[in-house]
Amino acid sequence: MEPARTTADMGAEPVPPLTLAAGDVIDVKFFYVPELDESQIVRPDGFMTLQLIGDVQAHGKTPAELHRELAKRYSIHLKSPNITIMVRRVNDSRVWVGGEVKRPGPVQMAGRLTVLEAIMDVGGGARPMADLKNVLVVRQRGGKSYGCLVNIKEVLRGKESEVFFLQPRDVVYVPPTAITKVDDWVDQYINKVVPQARTLFIYPMGPGGAGQVGIDTTTTGR
């Protein structure tokens, strides 16, 4: 999936298909052989162990892809495996809120969450020195990180604005108002949010100074 090229596009991006990861809880149910039913947690190495077939890699697969693999492997042992895969709990559906907020840290998403809600509700509100015109949202796509600057100050003033929805694993960073130059802001603060960043680029968004920050990364591992 190509990164969004504007703040509005990024805020309205569809949530990508769920891919399984370590810590996710998966129920595997067999319609005709209930004694094989299991509830498994994906291990830190990305695998889970099932009866009859042993280790199965779940990390990085969608539930549909895992279902196809299980149906294929169980067909060796069962005549007509009728398998249902249910993701009971997603371990990493959090966003991180940091910077000039009263309660920085990870937040578990229970539903759709906007940048404003993350800062003012979950984050406990902004501190006095917060620059609410340049809130950074960083998002991961295909092993790279990219982001944009979101102006929520206009919303707090009652002005109409696009709603920016967050996605799991987004990082929301509220910088201090002491940073007046974008270059200084990037140099001093972006690497604290995305330490693996190597190349940074700003997309101007027209009058008002809001822009998109692109962060090209080379990730060696999680």
* One pLDDT digit (tens) per residue for the chain, 222 residues: 444 455 556 556 666 677 888 888 999 999 999 999 999 999 989 999 999 999 999 988 999 999 999 999 999 999 889 999 999 888 767 888 988 899 888 887 777 888 888 888 766 888 888 888 888 888 876 667 777 788 888 777 777 667 788 888 888 888 887 554 555 555 555 555 544 444 444 333 333 334 444 444 343 344
0.75 surpassed by pTM: no
Question: Which CATH code for domain 7-12+92-217?
Answer: 3.10.560.10
Q: Are strands 38-41 and 47-50 parallel, antiparallel or unpaired?
A: unpaired
**8 Å CB contact between 213 and 199:** no
At position 45, the amino acid (one-letter code) is D
Q: Are strands 94-99 and 105-108 parallel, antiparallel or unpaired?
A: antiparallel
In order, the DSSP letters of the chain are: -PPPSSHHHHHTPPPPPP---TT-EEEEEESS-GGG-EEEEPPTTSEEEETTTEEEE-TT--HHHHHHHHHHHHTTT-SS--EEEEEEE-S--EEEEEESBSS-EEEE-SS--BHHHIIIIIT--B-TTB-TTSEEEEEEETTEEEEEEE--HHHHTT------B--TT-EEEE-BTT--SHHHHIIIIIHHH-TTEEEEEEEE-STTS-EEEEEEE-----
| pLDDT score of 157 | 74
- CATH 3.30.1950.10 describes domain 25-89: yes
Tell me how far apart the alpha carbons of residues 45 and 58 are, in angstroms, rounded to a whole number: 9
Instruction: Give residue limits of the domains in the chain.
Output: 7-12+92-217, 25-89
**8 Å CB contact between 24 and 87:** yes
